[in-house]
Structure formats: structure tokens, C-alpha cells
Structure 1
Amino acid sequence: MKLAIIGLGNMGQTILDGILKNNILVAEEIAAADKKFAADDFSLKNKYPGLYFTAENKEAVLKADYVILAVKPQIFSKVLSEIKTICDDKTIISIAAGIKRAFIEEQVPNNTGVVRVMPNTPALVGEGMSALSFSKKLAEKEKTFVKSIFKSFGKIIEIEEEQMDAVTALSGSGPAFVYLFIEALSDAGVLNGLDREKALKLAAQTVKGGAEMILQSKKHPAELKDMVTSPGGTTIAGLASLEESAFRSAVIKAVSAAAKRSEELGK
């Protein structure tokens, strides 16, 4: 086995789907471990034929070179303590929010590589943004393999460990802030006479299109904003109202509050 995935919830399955759809590995090279696999109603075997399933975390780790810990922060320490003595010469990849890479490195053998990754929920539709922080023990070929996994369901960026709280707040929590904005745009459309379905579609596609304009054009958001804003027109009237309501300040405060909370959870 090349890879073990511990935890096959939404994000674990998203990672697995990306790997298989992009032919990074075949099912026979992957082991999946989750306590729920011992349940009578376990049904994922039909979805992933060829995959090795086990309810025992150690069994999966022993078979793999790379181990993805796709478990919630609340049980992360318990899972790590269960497998830490059998991680020699393996690469541990953690996607748990708030769990610092240094904490993992202290628990595992010295020859274990550690990668901390913060993906976000748009990964479920192939539009994820994942930030990766590598320990210095990883060779370039190992980094390349790990990057290929997270590129399979979105975009990636490599960062320093100390930047992870900011990433957690910005791209980890950020989708919730965007959903709130889309909901507000939709509500405004309904207030001004649109039916809910049309308003929501207009709002969601507008946000999606605006984001794609930034990514493809490489232009600063202020420049793109000015392209939409005519003298004395409707857009500048709306922008003036947002400034009056301290819109940008509210967003900055929200991200900063989320970053602070991420830092607290990591202590």
C-alpha cells in the first residue's frame, strides 16, 4: 500500500475521490481506516471497489508510506497516540485545524516527515484552496507527491507554519463569510422584486465570476472594481453605502477574530 487515509468523512472522501479521479494512485494502493467500518450498515465498499478497508488504524498505517490524518481536532491526539510508534520512515499528513506541526513532530519518530495542510470545504466540488506547510525532513519527491494529492481537488499554496492561523481564518473560515455575503445579496434581490431562486442564482454566479476575474486577470481587486464603477452611477452609490456601513472593516475584523480563535485552539 502506498497511502493510508484515517477518517473517511466528507473531507477524507473528497481527498480519496481526487486521488482516484486524477489517477494519482489506484484503489489497490490505498488503505482506509475508520472505526465506523466495523458497523453492520457500512456501505462504502460498494463505492470504492479495490480499496483496502479496516476498522483498525494501526493496520492501515503499517501498510502505507504516506498517512493522511483526516480526523477532527477533538480526537486527533487519541489517533496520533495510537499510531505514533509505527510511523518510522513514513510521511504524516494532517488536515486537522489548530493542530500545530511541531506538536505532531514531537510525538512521532525523528525519521518521520510531517505535513500540515489546511484545505477548505469548496474542495467538495473540486474548487478547494489548500495551504501546505512541510517539515524540512521531506525530500522533493515526497513534497511533489503530497502536492499532487491536494491539487487534485483545487489549488494549493505553500506557506510557513506560523502563517497557518491566518490561513485557517481566511480560506478555512472564509467560505462561511462568502456564503453570508451571497445570502445578503440574494436577500437584497428579493427585497427589490426578484424571486428567491433567480436572486440566489444571480448572487452566487456574480461572486463566482468576480473571483474568477481576479484569478485569471491577475489584476488588483481595486482595479477591477473601478472597471465596474461609472461616475455618478449605480455602483458607486452602492459602494458608498458599503463604506458608510464599514463593510471592509467588518470583514477584516471577522478574519482577525477567526485567526485569534484558531491560535487559541492550537494551545
Structure 2
Amino acid sequence: MKLAIIGLGNMGQTILEGILNNNILAAEDIAAADKKFAAADFALKNKYPEIHFTSDNKEAVFEADYVILAVKPQIFSQVLEEIKALSADKLIISIAAGIKREFIEAKLSQNSRVVRVMPNTPALVGEGMSALSFADDLAEKERLFVKKVFKAFGRIIEVKEEQMDAVTALSGSGPAFVYLFIEALSDAGVLKGLDRQTALKLAAQTLKGGAEMVLESQKHPAELKDMVTSPGGTTIAGVASLEESGFRSAVIKAVSAAAERSEELGK
């Protein structure tokens, strides 16, 4: 089995290292293409000498059975055009936001198969959330390979193609919203007398711990919130303030705006 990865930005490198660190494929079975390959400071070629690195997308794809497209939506069509003639009988795995499977299939050979995946940036620290959208006729061994790759740096979930814009907005863009909340929490801590590093550590660990409570306890967030919220206490005073400021509404509007932008990118 041969794999090509096109695009070695943060996510492309994360996918590559997840595959190697979990022994999913041997380095000599991987080709990776990126225009940065020719740069003197391109460290990956020294770190993984067995990988076939190239700046030519067609060269990387030539012998591959699986191709992961980890390039930005703005150059996605250009890359599809480059590899079209070589895409027959290959499984194409796209992580591009907003780009529909139907669009990708139309740009490639009729015999190619397409999987859409929406990972997010916490994958860089092994805590990613990746949503996978498979075509109904995809072979089980192909599904298992894709699942194994994206489990290598976090959790996975299967969704329908028509749900991918919502996924992109929620878990793809969501980390940015979380970082804003962490920053705001730490700013509040500083306002009330904490030093910046202490406030930031308290805020970040609180978010991380709260997320683990949701995932591990399988309780509804409202139930977990009620466990913290004592009658007449400090927490309910803060919750009331958030509600008065339209916190829920602001978050819902942010995700909706991101989803609409994802839809625009796919047109």
C-alpha cells in the first residue's frame, strides 16, 4: 500500500507523523509533495530520509493507492487539475474546508473514490476531532485505513456529506472560539488581581477539564453545569451575567456564520 500526502503545512505534517508514530505505514511507502521541499530549511527531509519528498504533486501521486489532499481551498482546484490524469483507481482523502465531494469527483477520473475529512488544529497535540464522510460504496478496508489514520491524533466521528459545513463551523472553526474564551477568562483573572501566567493556566486547564467531563461522563452539559451551580452562589451569578450578555446567542451566531462561509467556499 502506497500513500501520497500533498501539502505539508501544520495539518499535513501532523497526519504524516501520526501515520509514522503509530506504524500505520512504513516511511518508504509514503511520498509527500510540497513546494517548500526545495527550501534549505525544510527539516522533514532530514528527519525522515526514507520518505520520498518532492515539489511535484504528480510525482508524489504516481504510484500511490491513497492520496491525502492537505492543501488550502484557494489552490484546491489547481491541485485537482494537476493530479486528474493520475487519479484513476485511487482513494482521494480531502481535508479542505467547504469543498464538496461531488465537486472533487467531477474534477477527477471517474474511477477515483473520494472521502471528505474535517480535522481540527488540536490534532497538533494529539487531541484532534476529525469528522469523516464516506461514500456508500467505499470498500471496508478503505474505511478502516482512513479511520486508523485520523485516530492517530485524536477522536473520529462519521457524518453525512450534507453535515460537513456544520462540522467545519463547529469543530473546524471552534478551536478559535475556544481560544477567545480562554483569553477572555484569563483577562478577567488579571482584572481581579491574578498574574497573566497564572490566569492563563487556570483558564486553559478549566476548559480542558470541562471538556473531558463532557466526553467521559456522558452527562449533558446542562447537568454538569448544575453540579457547579449552587443556589445563591458565585457560579449562578456569573451564569446570569453571561445570559444577560447573550453569550449563547453569540456562540450560535458565530458557528452559523462559519457554516455559511463554508458553504460559500464550496460554490
Q: CA deviation at 1:265?
A: 1.4
Instruction: Name the structure 1 match of 2:211.
Output: 211
Quick one: which amino acid aligns to residue 104 of structure 2?
I
Q: CA deviation at 1:34?
A: 1.3
- TM-score, L = length of structure 1: 0.98
Counterpart CA distance in 1 for 2:234 and 2:253 is 27
Pair 1:41–1:183, CA change in 2 (3 A): closer
Q: CA deviation at 1:134?
A: 1.3
SS in 2 for 1:99: coil
| 1:126 equivalenced with 2:114 (yes/no) | no
Instruction: Name the structure 1 match of 2:158.
Output: 158
Pair 1:134–1:189, CA change in 2 (3 A): same
Q: CA deviation at 1:41?
A: 4.2
Quick one: which amino acid aligns to residue 140 of structure 1?
E
Counterpart CA distance in 2 for 1:30 and 1:77 is 23
Contact 2:73-2:265 at 8 Å conserved across structures: no
Q: CA deviation at 1:43?
A: 3.1
SS in 2 for 1:16: helix
- TM-score, L = length of structure 2: 0.98
Instruction: Name the structure 2 match of 1:187.
Output: 187
Q: CA deviation at 1:113?
A: 1.0
Q: CA deviation at 1:8?
A: 0.9
The runs of 5 or more residues in structure 2 that have no matched partner are: none
State, as a whole percentage, how many aligned pairs show the same letter.
Answer: 82
How many residues are paired up? 267
The runs of 5 or more residues in structure 1 that have no matched partner are: none
Quick one: which amino acid aligns to residue 92 of structure 1?
I
Quick one: which amino acid aligns to residue 207 of structure 1?
L
Quick one: which amino acid aligns to residue 52 of structure 1?
H
Instruction: Name the structure 2 match of 1:178.
Output: 178
Quick one: which amino acid aligns to residue 209 of structure 1?
G
Counterpart CA distance in 1 for 2:108 and 2:262 is 23
- List aligned pairs for 1:1-267, cutoff 5 A: 2-267=2-267
Counterpart CA distance in 1 for 2:8 and 2:65 is 18
SS in 2 for 1:235: helix
Q: CA deviation at 1:207?
A: 0.3
Contact 1:84-1:108 at 8 Å conserved across structures: yes
